[in-house]
Every structure is written in C-alpha cells, then in structure tokens.
C-alpha cells in the first residue's frame, strides 16, 4: 500500500490552507504555518546544496528550539533521515553516535561547537551549520569555524514539494540512553510515527487546534512524538521551551491555555513543590507521563485535585507508546500503565521459555504492532536479539497483566536483585521508599554480597533539614513489603544521578557506591 505520510507534506498542506495560524511559539521568534513552511523549504535547499538526498542522515545537536523543528522538517522534505542527538552527551559519546549513524551534515548550537570540532575528523561530517536562534547565547559563538545556518537559510530559494514517504521509509534515528552498553540507533519509520499518532488520536483526549507544551527534551521520543509532531501534522500550536522550569511551566499553561503535554515523573515532583500548582494545572486536559513508573500516591494526589495523570508505558522502539491509562480509570487502577493502544498488541511471557503466562503472573512484556521499530540501525545482531520468530519485540521490562487486562510495570529484567535466592524488583521498593517521610528521591540497586549473593541498597536524597536513617527506612517499608526486600544499606546523596530522559542512572548510581 502506498500513502504519502511524510510530516513535511502535512505541514505544507497546513501552510496552504491555514497560512496565518500559529505553528510554533518560541522565545527566539514565533512562526505561523506559512513561515514554518517557508523556513523548512529554504533549509531543505541548503541541505541539498550540501549533498543531502533521500536516505542520507542529518544530525541536530541542541536544546529545544524552532530550529530543531525546522531542521527535522527540512530533512524529511528531502526524504533524509533525521538524527536528533542528546545534548548532554560527551564528545566521545557524540563521536560514537555520529560515526554509527553516518550523518554527513550537522546543525548545532554554539554551546557544542568545541565538542564537535574535537571529533569531527573522526566522523563522516561534511558540513557544520551553526544555529543562531538561541535567545540565550552569543550570536557569534563558533561562527568563524561553522557556516551560519540561519543566514544560509534566509538566502536560499525554497525547495519544492516534500518527497513522498511510505510506511516502511526510515524517518528518524534516535539513540538509546546506553544504560545497557553502547547506545543503539533506533530506527523509526514514517509508518511507526504515523501509527503511534493514530493510536494517540483514538485513545487520548486531544483536539486539532490544541496548544501543546514541549517542555521535555525533544530528542526524547515521548516529547517529540506524543504530541509535538502530531500537533504540527494536525495544524495545532506547539509551545517550545528550551528547558523545563516548574514555575515557567505553570505560567505557560495559564498564559497560553495549554491543553496537552508530555512529562516524565521527575517533572511532577518539581511541579508539586510549587505552592499554587494545583489551581494552575487545572486547565490541562491531557497530561501524559512516561519514562518511569509513577507512585500510586502521587497519582491519587493529582487526581484528587482535578489533574488526572495518564500514565503510559512504552519505549523509543514503540514510537513510543504501547499502553496508556484511560483518564476515567486513573483512580480505579492506580499504578497501572493502562491497556494496550488500539493498534498495538502487548502480552506477558516467561523470560526463560517465551511462553505466554496467566494474568497476575510476572514476566517479560512483549509488544507487536505497526508502531514498533523494524530494528536498530546497521545492527542485525542487536535487532535479532529483541525480536522472536513471531515478530514480538522483547522489551526487557518485567510486569504483569491483571484480570481486567490492565498492565503493571515492575522493573527492568537487568535491574532485578537476586538476594538469598529471592527476586527483588527495585522499582517496587522505590515506590514504597518514596513515601518515607523526609525522602525526596530514591533509587534501589543490588550490590555484591558474600552471604546473600546480592544485597539491597537504597540511595536517598533527603528533603531539606530531614534526617533519613536506615532504621527509619526499614521500619516504614517493613509494613508494606516483605523483609527480604528491605534495604540493608543506605547511602545519602545530595543529587540523584539521572539520564537525559529523567530515568534513574543505575550504572552511575552503582559507580557512586563503589567509590
């Protein structure tokens, strides 16, 4: 079946019929659909002059901005593959991602010029284009070494219509966080993006003219494809913030009448700390949270104040949503990640045998559907390792399905602690410990132990002025979980290591414990 599902085509269509409608709100300058289309068409000409054609890779390195969106649409207009990079990566990590993707053009902000110059000769990069629409950075940073992306774009003539893209054509390559080793390049096709968007439209309460707030990093597929890209395809407005600030976030919801947004759990913690957060959040219609389990107590607090959290579970490989908690079931199933999306299958299997297990039995969650990646960029071994013979993607997450068909996520297989022959799921213990008085953030990991094989270790960030002790933690948690799950060691830290997507950085946390 052939169908042109290129997002760049949709933006062109919106520019034709709704030219003066607001597309992007950004501190560096707002854009209507007509202006967004013009910039993307001119940027496509710049890329074409640098040799970019269908199938080539264009990388972007920078924080959330209008340039991020324009670069993506310009790449897609040519049929190229967009490679958004995590702006927190070190130079060696950037080198690995650029080498693996084979990107030949990079658009980046001035803050990253030195890091890229350090490794550019070890990559396939042929052109370095400097973004200068960062309202916070000096305009001349790096200009002597890089071409000005904005000046080139303004001088270029508009490229013609977007190249038609079909369901199997690659659209983006996003690199995993690397928590299991070298980051993998996750390929998402235009079909993957389209089917996830259709799932979103059918399950979540969104409207075509909604204002959506992009506050989480856009290199995270949840921030990019839950609402941002879908909003542009439908003709809505995207409010772009370079970084998340809880007070600014609440101001934006009120000032711009934001209706939909994607968040990670750490953002919820920050919002709760703002005194008048509840009244200011009430205008949101859809608050989707993913990236890590949300504690049931937090879900109840938000719901009781008229702000239902719609927890979702997924991964970059699913573009990103596999399950979603319907808003009407928020309080009926607190802690659940919801039910499968309309065009996505989710099952639970025995990790050892691959056989489906009965409801209530923990196992590995497997996913199948048109929103699931075809595999990892130029990595057939890694691809074969996650797909079985029937096309199920093995997620590496442990969870279970209850009798009503709702899914609950327990933990990652690789994070399971085996102590004295018993399995301990850190995420389960973390949910309990988060409610300990005086604890603001917590992580649970396993450390080698001669007697038990592994021992449970809790790493806590206390609230200001609070004293958190191992005895107090064990006493509180001992009323809610079995004693073999209780931590035998407690470490206090000022800041909890987290990766760019807000997830606990378990390798980094274990490294702290070894010091």
Residues 424 and 405 in one domain: no
Domain stops at, among 355, 389, 412? 412
237 domain residue, yes or no: yes
pLDDT tens digits for range 461-488: 999 888 999 999 999 998 888 888 999 9
Spatial separation of the C-alpha atoms in residues 94 and 86, rounded to whole Å: 8
Domain stops at, among 116, 135, 166? 166
176 domain residue, yes or no: no
Is 236 buried (19+), middle (13-18) or exposed (0-12) by CB count in 10 A?
A: buried
Residues 406 and 446 in one domain: no
Residue matched to tokens 């001035």: 110
pLDDT tens digits for range 205-248: 999 999 999 999 999 999 999 899 999 999 999 999 999 999 99
Domain that holds residue 357: 188-412
Residues 86 and 149 in one domain: yes
pLDDT band at 180 (very low <50, low <70, confident <90, very high): very low
- Give exposure, 64-92, as e/b (b: 16+ Cβ within 10 Å): bbbbbbbbbbbbbbbbbbbbbbbbebeee
- pLDDT (average), residues 80-89: 93
Strands 170-175 and 286-289: unpaired
* Count of domains for the chain: 3
Residues 477 and 407 in one domain: no
pLDDT band at 179 (very low <50, low <70, confident <90, very high): very low
pLDDT tens digits for range 11-33: 999 999 999 999 999 998 999 99
Spatial separation of the C-alpha atoms in residues 176 and 319, rounded to whole Å: 13
| Alpha-carbon distances, residue 404 vs 344, 411, 511 (angstroms) | 17, 21, 41
Residues 406 and 427 in one domain: no
Q: Higher-confidence residue: 198 or 143?
A: 198
179 domain residue, yes or no: no
Residues 345 and 422 in one domain: no
Residue 124 has pLDDT above 90, yes or no: yes
Residue 499 has pLDDT above 90, yes or no: no
pLDDT band at 5 (very low <50, low <70, confident <90, very high): very high
Which tokens hold the place of 14? 């919106």
| Alpha-carbon distances, residue 193 vs 65, 180, 296, 305 (angstroms) | 21, 25, 30, 33
| Alpha-carbon distances, residue 391 vs 195, 299, 313 (angstroms) | 17, 34, 19
Q: Which helix (H) or strand (E) holds 365?
A: strand 363-368
Q: Higher-confidence residue: 93 or 398?
A: 398
- pLDDT (average), residues 81-98: 91
The distance of Cα 238 from the centroid of its chain, to the nearest Å, equals 17
Residue 418 pLDDT? 85
First to last CA, the chain: 57
- Whether the full predicted model's pTM is greater than 0.85, yes or no, is yes
Which residues pair with residue 106 across a beta bridge?
Answer: 59, 128
């Amino acid at each position: 079946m052939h169908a042109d599902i290129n997002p760049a085509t949709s933006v062109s269509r919106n520019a034709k019929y709704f030219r003066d409608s607001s597309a992007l709100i950004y501190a560096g300058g707002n854009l209507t659909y007509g202006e967004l289309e013009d910039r993307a068409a001119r940027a496509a000409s710049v890329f074409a002059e640098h040799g970019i054609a269908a199938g080539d890779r264009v990388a972007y390195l920078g924080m959330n901005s209008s340039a991020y969106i324009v670069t993506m649409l310009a790449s897609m207009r040519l049929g190229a593959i967009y490679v958004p990079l995590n702006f927190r990566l070190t130079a060696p990590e950037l080198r690995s991602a650029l080498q693996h993707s084979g990107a030949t053009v990079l658009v980046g902000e001035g803050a990253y010029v030195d890091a890229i110059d350090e490794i550019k000769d070890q990559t396939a990069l042929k052109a370095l284009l400097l973004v200068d629409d960062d309202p916070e950075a000096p305009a001349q940073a790096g200009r002597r070494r890089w071409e000005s992306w904005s000046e080139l774009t303004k001088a270029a003539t508009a490229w013609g219509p977007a190249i038609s893209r079909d369901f199997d054509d690659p659209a983006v390559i996003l690199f995993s966080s690397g928590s299991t080793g070298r980051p993998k390049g996750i390929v998402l096709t235009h079909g993957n993006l389209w089917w996830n968007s259709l799932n979103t439209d059918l399950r979540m309460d969104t409207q075509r003219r909604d204002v959506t707030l992009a506050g989480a990093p856009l290199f995270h597929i949840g921030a990019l494809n839950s609402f941002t890209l879908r909003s542009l395809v439908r003709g809505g407005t995207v409010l772009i913030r370079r970084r998340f600030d809880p007070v600014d976030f609440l101001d934006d919801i009120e000032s711009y009448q934001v209706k939909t947004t994607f968040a990670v759990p750490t953002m919820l913690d920050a919002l709760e700390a703002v005194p008048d957060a509840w009244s200011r959040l009430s205008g949101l219609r859809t608050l989707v949270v993913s990236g890590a389990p949300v504690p049931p107590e937090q879900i109840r607090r938000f719901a009781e104040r008229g702000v239902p959290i719609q927890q979702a579970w997924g991964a970059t490989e699913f573009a990103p949503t596999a399950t979603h908690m319907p808003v009407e079931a928020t309080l009926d199933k607190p802690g659940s990640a919801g039910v499968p999306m309309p065009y996505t299958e989710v099952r639970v299997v025995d990790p050892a045998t691959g056989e489906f297990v009965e409801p209530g039995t923990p196992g590995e969650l497997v996913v199948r559907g048109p929103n699931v990646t075809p595999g990892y960029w130029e990595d057939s071994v890694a691809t074969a390792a996650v797909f079985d013979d029937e096309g199920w993607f093995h997620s590496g997450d442990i969870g279970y399905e209850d009798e009503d068909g709702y899914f609950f996520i327990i933990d990652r297989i690789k994070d399971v602690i085996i102590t004295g022959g018993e399995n301990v799921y850190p995420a389960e213990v973390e949910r309990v410990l988060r409610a300990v008085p005086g604890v603001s953030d917590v992580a649970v990991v396993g450390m080698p132990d001669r007697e038990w094989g592994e021992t449970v270790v809790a790493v806590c960030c206390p609230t200001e002025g609070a004293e958190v002790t191992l005895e107090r933690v064990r006493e509180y948690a001992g009323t809610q979980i079995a004693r073999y799950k209780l931590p035998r060691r407690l470490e206090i830290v000022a800041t909890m290591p987290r990766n760019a997507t807000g997830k606990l950085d378990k390798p980094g946390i274990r490294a702290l414990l070894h010091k």
